[in-house]
Structure 1
Amino acid sequence: MLLDNVRELSAFSSDGKPFIYKNAHSVSLQFDNTAVQSEMYVAAPDALLLGYTVTMMGFLLFKHSPGTIAMIGLGGGSLAKYCYRNLPHAAIVVAENNPEVIALKDHFHIPEDDRRLQIRCQDGRDLVRDADSDYEILLVDGFDHTGQPPQLCSQAFYDDCYQALAPEGIMAVNLLGSRANMTHYLDRIQRSFDGAAIAVEALESSNMIVFACKGKSLEMPDQAIMNGLKDLELQHALLLRMTAQNILRQRRTDKLIAALHLSAAQLRAG
């Protein structure tokens, strides 16, 4: 279904089926007339338009040139296209469980499958459960018309995400919903990744992006992150500096909170 004016959009009820809304400047994928799932500039189809996608690319701060990337959720293919065009050494697999979403991919200029890109009609839960522990990057951005599917935010799912990653692999998860739910999901990620996780607010949105790692990649010193940022900014037209600053600020906050909890525990024990 293709809609091309505001009147049609405001009156349309899709019953949870994905549809395309197009105006002079952009094309968006939506499940209803209130929320945009993915958006693309007509003049720059490979650019990242939504702030949360830019923040998810913050994994580059810790791994500049990954060789294997897995994604859960295709949507309009924003992340898949960006990684395909700008990370030429990466082999990318995308799991999307809705064939109606995959059927709309030509509207978003998503490349055809080749030796570097595979788009599978598969539940993301199965992708990570059956993985061979070799993904350097895992991007979890799976939503349907009801929000975040239960199978993509369970403790078992995050356990499988950990196992699916290569040593020092990094996961970035897009969370959206009530603050209580997002905090609950963050707690699950922390348990699955033995505390190696950090949550930041997404740029220009109410989404929360959680970065987690299998190893110690997220402990990279502040100065090393900022030094690497100089090269990244030459290669990527992204607001990575803002994401880096948000991550470093949150790391300091998390350390302070942990220290306060430790002091309180010591006082109770003493």
Structure 2
Amino acid sequence: MASTGIGWRAWLAALFGARRADVPPHLRKPRIRERGTTTELQFARGVSQSAMVTRDPQRLLIDYTRTMLGALVFVPRPRRIGMIGLGGGSQAKYCYRHLSEAQIEVVENNPHVLALRRQFHVPDDDARFRVFLDDGARFLHERAGRYDLLLVDGYDETGIPEALSTQAFYDDCRAALTEGGAMAANLYCADAAAHVERLQRAFGASSVLVMEEPRQSNRVAFAWTGPVTTGEGDMTLSSAAQRDLRAVFGTVREAFAAR
């Protein structure tokens, strides 16, 4: 065999890398990694998109997922919740368990991620919980005025997809909320400032709050419609979850008051 000038390991890497590059990001298969006490969903080796405590799958493990639920400060009694991005289902499971009066709709565009829902203990669809296979931007565009609470955490291995980064998408986020509704978005990206500017154009600069994650390299952006109060009003969140998220709620209230 003639020499190609490339080692066999490099040849295999080039071959499979090329094949992977031909697959759109939303159709690439994630891998599951068991690491210590956690089960993790990964698209790229060493980079976890979602993590679950294997023996306590309902727990919110990653800091930003807890911070995002600080949006309940702005809308303490959500009747209908929309979620863009399922991943390992951390927030979906938590909301299903602890917001028993709310209907929850989740959209995920990767069928391989949906296929793992049982391994991550995501509940089956029922009268108040549904997971849709669809493009998140298209899905949201068709749901004006539907949600009291919207959680946006849509990622593939390249980062935030282009479809979830446009001004039109953030305008649709605003349109999808009821009056007095609120949203939270995970901004793990190099151009977070651009996303914040689009949110401010959609909601108004005075209706957007951005919080840094001290132990992570991302930010959580909150936005809301109409006048809001961040007092200690009654929540439909379970008492256990209120205790669990008490520090988060306090931090969000302080940031809101100081903005």
- Category of TM-score, reference length = shorter chain: 0.7 to 0.9
In 1, distance between residues paired with 2:46 and 2:157?
A: 11
1:108-257 to structure 2, matched below 5 A, reads 108-178=120-190, 181-195=191-205, 196-202=207-213, 204-217=215-228, 220=229, 224=231, 227-228=232-233, 234-236=239-241, 237-249=243-255, 251-252=257-258, 254=259
Code of the residue aligned with 1:209 in structure 2: it is V
Q: Following the alignment from structure 1 to structure 2, what is the Cα–Cα distance between the partners of residues 230 and 120?
A: 27
Give the drift of 1:153. Answer: 1.4
User: Whole-Å Cα distance in 2 between the matches of residues 200 and 243 of structure 1?
Assistant: 12
How far residue 249 of structure 1 moved from its aligned partner, in angstroms, is 3.2
Runs of 4+ aligned residues of structure 1 deviating over 6 Å after TM superposition are 11-14, 229-233
* Residue 4 (structure 1) aligns with: none
> Amino acid of the residue matched to residue 168 of structure 2?
A
1:80 maps to 92
Q: CA deviation at 1:145?
A: 0.7
Q: Does 1:62 find its partner at 2:74?
A: yes
Match of 1:53, SS state, is helix
Deviation (angstroms), 1:49? 0.4
Q: Which runs of 5+ in 2 are unaligned?
A: 1-12, 21-27
Task: Return the offset for 1:143.
Answer: 0.2
- Match of residue 40 from structure 2: 28
- In the TM superposition, residue 61 of structure 1 has moved relative to its aligned partner by 1.5
**Root mean square deviation of aligned Cα:** 2.4
Q: Which has the higher helix share?
A: 1
Corresponding residue for residue 5 of structure 1: none
Tell me, what secondary structure is at the counterpart of 2:118? helix
CA contact (8 A) 1:51 1:203 kept: no
Residue 94 of structure 1 corresponds to: 106
- Could you report, residue by residue, the CA deviation over 1:209-243 in whole angstroms, capped at 9, with x for unpaired residues? 011011122xx26xx2xx34999794314344245
Amino acid in structure 2 at the alignment position of 1:202: E
What are the ranges of 5 or more consecutive residues in structure 1 without an aligned counterpart? 1-10, 255-270
Structure-2 change in CA distance of 1:60 and 1:184 (3 Å): same
Q: If the length of structure 2 is used for normalisation, what is the TM-score?
A: 0.84
1:33-57, CA deviations, whole angstroms, 9 ceiling, x for partnerless residues?
A: 1211111111211110010100001
The alignment of Structure 1 onto Structure 2 pairs a total of residues equal to 235
2:99–2:236 contact (8 Å) kept in structure 1: no
Residue deviations 1:144-196, cap 9 Å, x none?
01000011011000001111111111010000122xx1011101100100221
State TM-score, norm by structure 1.
0.80
Q: Is the 8 A contact 1:73 1:124 kept in 2?
A: yes
Distance 1:155 1:184 in 2: 10
What is the CA–CA distance in structure 1 between the aligned matches of 2:257 and 2:124, rounded to whole Å? 39
Percent of matched pairs sharing the same residue: 40
Taking CA–CA contacts closer than 8 Å with sequence separation of 6 or more, which of the two structures ends up with the larger relative contact order?
A: 2
Measure the CA separation in 2 of the matches of 1:204 and 1:36.
Answer: 15
Pairwise CA distance, 1:62? 2.1
The 2-side partners of 1:108 and 1:162 are apart by: 30
Q: Is the 8 A contact 1:229 1:241 kept in 2?
A: no
d(CA) in 2 for partners of 1:198, 1:79? 20
**What letter corresponds to residue 47 of structure 2 in structure 1?**
A
